[in-house]
């Protein structure tokens, strides 16, 4: 056989297998159809009340004082074993705490106190702080507690 009579070999053209891409596109279409159904269920048409005459007042951060009751570790017999903090400032006695609350009350008439206590602090110390808050005529006090498992609600 001569070279001229030889048949050229068939070479397949380079191409893409479209099957995986069609599968991905189909899954994306299904995903977006489902998500759009869930999103439309969240935006239910409702007639919501207007807060024009609302009694709720936005509390500024300056109108709130956080008082912490912390157990010192280890508790020394010379001290009560508890110290207080007004925000980041440490206060070692109820008298100093009362002075700080009086200054805050003088600066803000609508003062709110958030009282937080370590669970190991005996109640008599927390009660002492509550008495100081009442003596300074603070009308609104929030008592912070953690409700965990096994605690009745």
- pLDDT digit string, tens, across residues 32-64: 888 877 665 555 555 555 666 655 555 455 678
Name the pTM for this structure.
Answer: 0.53
- Rounded CA gap, 93 and 104, in Å? 17
Q: Enumerate the domain spans of the chain.
A: 62-143
Helix locations, 43-122, DSSP H: 94-107
Q: In the prediction, which pLDDT does 119 show? A: 76
Q: What pairing do the DSSP bridges indicate for beta strands 140-143 and 112-117? A: parallel
Q: In the prediction, which pLDDT does 45 show? A: 59
Q: In the prediction, which pLDDT does 153 show? A: 45
Q: Which residue is listed with tokens 């109640």?
A: 123
Q: How far is CA 24 from the centre of its chain?
A: 38
Q: What is the DSSP letter of 70?
A: E
- pLDDT digit string, tens, across residues 118-147: 777 888 888 888 898 888 888 788 777 665
**41's tokens:** 């269920």
Torsions phi, psi of 139, nearest 5? Answer: -85, -20
- pLDDT digit string, tens, across residues 63-109: 788 888 877 765 455 556 777 877 777 887 888 888 888 888 888 87
Q: Which CATH class is domain 62-143?
A: alpha beta
């Amino acid at each position: 056989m001569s070279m001229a009579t030889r048949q050229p070999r068939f070479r397949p053209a380079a191409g893409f297998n479209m099957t995986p891409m069609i599968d991905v596109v189909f899954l994306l279409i299904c995903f977006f159809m489902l998500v759009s159904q869930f999103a439309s269920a969240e935006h239910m048409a409702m007639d919501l009340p207007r807060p024009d005459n609302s009694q709720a007042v936005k509390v500024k951060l300056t109108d709130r004082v956080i008082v912490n009751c912390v157990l010192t570790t280890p508790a020394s017999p010379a001290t009560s074993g508890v110290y207080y903090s007004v925000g980041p400032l440490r206060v070692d006695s109820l008298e100093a705490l009362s002075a700080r609350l009086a200054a805050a009350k003088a600066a803000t008439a609508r003062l709110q106190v958030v009282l937080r206590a370590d669970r190991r602090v005996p109640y008599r110390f927390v009660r002492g702080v509550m008495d100081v808050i009442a003596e300074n005529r603070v009308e609104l006090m929030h008592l912070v507690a953690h409700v965990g498992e096994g605690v009745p609600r």
